[in-house]
Structure 1
């Protein structure tokens, strides 16, 4: 065997080792790429629903709705979740409801004192009380019980939903006093969220005013969501305006 032939097995063994090393390295690269591969649409949606902390029944209903979507739509939804998950939420409103009630404000202390004095004088002398009453009428003195305008409570729920399934509700309450034509006093303007907030962080601020017989209540919701290392935010505003007991505006909008 020639010298060249004697080296052939050694070269062939080295070549085989290089192939084996290449396969090992290749396997390592493939595993690394698999770790960095994007999640499937199903996994992205499932993570989002889990983050909302909805009930088991709602979780199952949402995933069933997602599974019924065409593959292309599932991919689109997954892309939206990763870009801005809050934009998937839908907000549906019903008609505000108005309930009535009234209260009587207690007589002012001065009016009670004057009325008591007149009553006491009547016990001492009928003629004296008659003269006192005549003088009171002549001087224009009148004693009235102070009565407020009727009280009304308006409620205005707005449902937050995904695929038509409610996950929470933004509640608004506006309490005011009014005649049939004018709001005379605002008593309460408030808003709060009920339901599954999950990773949402929701804060509220309220404002109200009276102008030209109209009363207004405005609630602003500042919503934030931390999801998979990213931070998203959006703001919603609810508003009710009444002219007396007549609803003139009910709105929900982005601000």
Structure 2
């Protein structure tokens, strides 16, 4: 929807500003004619097209601009618009004020339930570097091996690669929805892949996070850390979000974390940082 349009209730089609100005002028003419007051006097009092353009945007216009900037799909756009139109006028004004103050403040971040699936491990799989592994090359240089396990040495690269069967591999996923009116506009997902016995995590293989969905005005950066302590595997994802809206910039930082003691989930958290 164009940024210079606004929504009219009762199922009317959107009216562009040029049409709205003509509507307002016709209304002024009708009112002044009924009151016996010359149109020139009304315009002399300051009711001009310029003044109309300088007036603050309505709550509907602010909301429409925000949803348009999010670049949600048409179905989500229609659902959000319907929710907004059902709000009392005072609540619409409050929401519009909050959007202009900080658009990120009107979004709700709701964590889903983590899920864990089992996959047969692959031999000679490189372990994940404990902190901020950003490439396969760095991860390969941080292979974790047990002292008692047989290994072969790659003379060319200096790497030790496991040749014995690994423990079962598990993949944990942890979604967090960014919602407005309970309608998801995007999802943050973290994935933690590790090897474990029933009572202890033995090796970390992957710790990643990403955003899917509408993020037209978002800039989202991620960083990760992971470690194993006392048989407990920990995967942490930090999201650093920035948003540009109507010439201003806003930021919010979130952290997702999963902890597993073997195959048992011991902690799943979402917090501001």
SS of alignment partner, residue 166 of structure 2: coil
Pairwise CA distance, 1:47? 0.5
Match of 1:9 in 2: none
Bigger proportion of residues as helix: 1
Asked whether 1:156 is paired with 2:155, we answer no
Q: 1:108 to 1:212 in 2, by over 3 A?
A: closer
The more displaced of 217-226 and 98-107 is: 98-107
**Cα distance, 1:26 vs. partner?**
3.5
Alignment of 1:185 with 2:209, yes or no, is no
RMSD (Å) for aligned C-alpha atoms: 2.1
Structure 1 counterpart of 2:264, from 235, 246, 254: 246
SS at match of 1:148: coil
Task: Tell me if 1:88 matches 2:106.
Answer: yes
Secondary structure at 2:167 match in 1: coil
- Listed as ranges, the matches of 1:216-235 within 5 Å are 216-235=234-253
Q: Deviations over 1:63-116 (max 9, x none)?
A: 110000011100000000000110111112221000112235367459xxxxxx
CA distance in 2, matches of 1:200, 1:177: 35
Q: How many residues matched? A: 201
SS of alignment partner, residue 149 of structure 1: coil
| SS of aligned partner of 2:79 | helix
Match of 1:65 in 2: 83
1:79 aligns with 2:97: yes
Structure 1 length normalisation: TM-score? Answer: 0.74
The reply to whether residue 37 of structure 1 matches residue 52 of structure 2 is no
- What's the secondary structure of 1:240's corresponding residue? strand
Cα distance between partner residues in 1 of 2:95 and 2:123: 57
The C-alpha deviation readout for 1:145-197, integer Å capped at 9, x for no partner, is: 72211111000111111101111110110001111111111110000000111
Q: Which residue among 203, 212, 215 is the counterpart of 1:194?
A: 212
Separation of aligned partners in 1, 2:117 and 2:178: 24
Q: Distance in 1 between matches of 2:94 and 2:224?
A: 36
- Residue 121 (structure 2) pairs with residue 103 (structure 1): yes
Q: Where does the alignment leave 5 or more consecutive residues of structure 2 unmatched?
A: 1-39, 125-149, 154-162
Per the TM alignment, residue 249 of structure 1 is displaced from its structure 2 partner at its CA by 0.4
User: Displacement, 1:231?
Assistant: 0.6
Residue 56 of structure 1 pairs with residue 74 of structure 2: yes
How far off is 1:227 after superposition?
0.5
- Aligned in 2, Cα 1:45/1:215: closer, same or farther, shift over 3 Å? same
Which range moved further: 92-101 or 67-76? Answer: 92-101
Partner residue, 2:158 = none
In 2, distance between residues paired with 1:99 and 1:91? 25
Structure whose alpha-carbon radius of gyration is higher? 1
